[in-house]
Amino acid sequence: MSADDSVPARRDFLRKSLSLIPVVALAGGATSGLALAAPTPENKPGSSPRADHYQPVFFTAEEWAFVQAAVARLIPADELGPGALEAGAPEFIDRQMQTAYARGGLWYMQGPFAVDAAPEMGYQSRLVPQDLYRLGIAAVDRWTRQQHGKVFAELVPAEQDATLKALESGDAALDGVPAKLFFAQLLQNTKEGFYCDPLHGGNKELVGWKLVNFPGARADFMDWVERDERYPLPPVSIRGERG
C-alpha cells in the first residue's frame, strides 16, 4: 500500500516494483521456485482466461476468496489498465504454493530464528511461504471479524484497504504470524504475479509488461536501454504471445 493512493502514483509504484524483481524472473528464465503453468486451453498463447476460471490446488475456497480480494486491492484495475486480479496473480500465487520454494526447500531453515533481525541478515522466520499464507489468512479473517464482524473478502474496498495498511504497519495484532511478515509475502507475490511471464500463471495478456513498457522475452533490445525513449515494439512472452 502507498501513502499516495492517487491514480498517477500507480504507474510509479509499479515501475519501482519492477526494479526489485530480477529481469530473468520477469522473462521466465530458469529461476528456481517458479512453477510453470501447463499449456491448457485456458492459458494457451493468445487466450486471456479470467482468474475465476482457475481452480486452486493449494488454497481452500475461503483462502482463495481472501487472495483474490487482497490482490485486487494491492494492484487495482483503473484507467491505466487491468490490475493484479485480472492479470491472474492469484493463479500465480497458488501455483507457487505447490513448489519447493513455498515449502522452504530452497532456503536454509535451521535455527536459531531471530524475529527482529536486521533486513541484511536475510529471511529469519521459521514459517515458510505455505505456513505464512495458511496461518496468515486465517489470522487476518479472525482479526477482521473482531473489527467488522466479517472476513476480509466480505469487507467493502475501503475496509479492505484499511486492513492491508494495518498489516503493513504492524498495527493489526494477528495470532501466530507477524502481520508485517505476512503482508510483505503477499505483496511480493502479488507483484511477481503481475509481472511474471504468462507461463507461470500471471501477467495474462502481458498487462504488467505493457504497463511499464517491458519488452519481455525479445532476443535483443539492449540498444534501447540507455536511450531514455519508449521501446517501440510490444512485449513478447516465452511462448510467443504478443502484447
Give me the percent of the chain exceeding a pLDDT of 90: 52
Q: In whole numbers, what is the pLDDT of the chain averaged over residues?
A: 81
Confidence of residue 8 (pLDDT cuts 50, 70, 90): low
pLDDT digits (tens, 9 = 90+) for 84-105: 999 999 999 999 999 999 998 8
Assign residue 100 a region (left: φ > 0; alpha: ψ between -120 and 50; beta: otherwise).
alpha
Q: Which helix (H) or strand (E) holds 5?
A: none
Residue 48 has pLDDT above 50, yes or no: no
Whether the Cβ atoms of residue 216 and residue 237 lie closer than 8 Å to each other: yes
Residue 64 has pLDDT above 90, yes or no: yes
What pLDDT, on a 0 to 100 scale, did the predictor assign at position 33?
45
What pLDDT, on a 0 to 100 scale, did the predictor assign at position 52?
55
Quote the longest CA-to-CA distance of the chain: 56
Residue 78 has pLDDT above 50, yes or no: yes
- Grouping H, G, I as helix, E, B as strand and the rest as coil, residue 165 is helix
What pLDDT, on a 0 to 100 scale, did the predictor assign at position 169?
96
Residue with cell 467488522: 148
pLDDT digits (tens, 9 = 90+) for 126-179: 899 999 999 999 999 999 999 999 999 999 999 999 999 999 999 999 999 999
Provide the residue ranges of all domains of the chain, joining segments of one domain with +.
Answer: 12-224
- Supply the pTM of this predicted model: 0.77
